[in-house]
Amino acid sequence: MRVAVGADRSDVLVMVLRGAFRQVALGLAIGLPLALLAGRMISSQLFEVKAYDPLALGLAAVLLAACAVIASLVPARHAASIDPVKALRSE
């Protein structure tokens, strides 16, 4: 619909990717503190387990962001390539 009312295809692509990264940022904002808390709890229960591993947390965050890019590129490219006339006719 946005392409039909004048948005560029790159604007649609950016909009879809921004929505995906907003969800990733929210998940990281909630998940990282919980992971740190869980690390503290596990380190007191298990022998020689560190409470805080910045390398593992950083790699997990980067991997999550990479997966979000890959997963959102397919629908973003599809949304950007739809013909506006066909989109309006189906609505």
Q: Please name the helix (run of DSSP H) or strand (run of DSSP E) that holds residue 82, with its range, or none.
A: none
Closest among 64, 56, 63, 26 to 38, alpha carbons compared: 56
The whole-model pTM stands at 0.69
- The pLDDT of residue 7 is 66
CB 20 within 8 A of CB 65: no
Dist CA 79 CA 74 (whole Å): 9
Tokens of 51: 């409470």
Q: Domain limits of the chain?
A: 9-90
Residue 7's region, left for phi above 0, alpha for psi from -120 to 50, else beta, is beta
pLDDT tens for the chain, 91 residues long, are 555 556 677 777 888 888 888 998 999 999 999 988 988 888 878 777 777 888 888 999 899 889 988 988 888 887 777 776 776 677 6
